[in-house]
Amino acid sequence: MAGFATSVEDPVWLAKAKRGDCFVDLITGVGNASLVIDRTWIDRGLHEIVLGVPCCVLGPEECIASKCFVAFRERFDGADIVHLIKACGRRLDWRRVFDLMGDHWELLYWSLILYAYVYPAHTDVVPEPVWRELTQRFGEQLRQPDKSAPFRGSLVDPRMFAIDVNEWGERNLYQEYCDNHPCPLRVENSVGSEE
């Protein structure tokens, strides 16, 4: 980035570029490495005008998926998800949301339960087949739990669930996901780079 001082804040998801009073965060994934931003996220972006500047902004499906994991003590994006569902739930590509969430579909279900709690008179904004599929999956999971399924608390918040890993011997999926991230940001040529 010519003329910008750049740095990699986290090789899994965050780089920064700064020049004078201007700066930008370059977000390439989510902090726990559960989602990887690929070309489809860009291709599906919405072309909008932001502060008078033509931009490509994240589509609502990708935005919801990226926010499902932001459930920390000090930051919770559940309200953002609820507002996105309220604003565009009827026209969302729900199959895309399911695909993005993959094995983490329970967090989507949790977000939809929160939506139903916040907007009980507007649950019809979410298509009935979405409710039915997630409720059926959850029911099956309750009836026949996978006894080999790993602990996933560290994917939600590695600090709040540190005791589970450090003292109770649970797997640290957060660290495993980060260590095995398919395309980490490179640190070389970052701080003060003119490239």
Tens of pLDDT, residues 99-143 = 999 999 999 999 999 999 999 999 999 999 999 999 999 999 999
| Contact between residue 134 and residue 112 where contact means Cβ atoms under 8 Å apart | yes
pTM for the model? 0.84
Residue with tokens 């902004």: 57
* Overall number of domains in the chain: 2
Phi, psi of 42 (to 5 degrees): -70, -50
The one-character DSSP state at 74 is: S
Within this chain, do residues 135 and 174 fall inside the same structural domain, yes or no? no
Does residue 46 lie within any of the structural domains?
Answer: no
| Contact between residue 111 and residue 70 where contact means Cβ atoms under 8 Å apart | no
With a pLDDT cut of 70, the percent of the chain lying above it is 94
Closest C-alpha to 177, from 122, 127, 104: 104
Please tell me the predicted confidence (pLDDT) of residue 187: 59
Closest C-alpha to 46, from 106, 88, 104, 10: 88
Position 1 pLDDT exceeds 60:
no
Please tell me the predicted confidence (pLDDT) of residue 124: 98
What is the rounded CA–CA span in Å between residue 60 and residue 23? 24
Within this chain, do residues 90 and 164 fall inside the same structural domain, yes or no? no
Q: Which domain holds residue 164?
A: 151-179
Does residue 104 lie within any of the structural domains?
Answer: yes
What is the rounded CA–CA span in Å between residue 75 and residue 97? 22
Helices vs strands, H then E, count in the chain: 9, 5
Does residue 162 lie within any of the structural domains?
Answer: yes
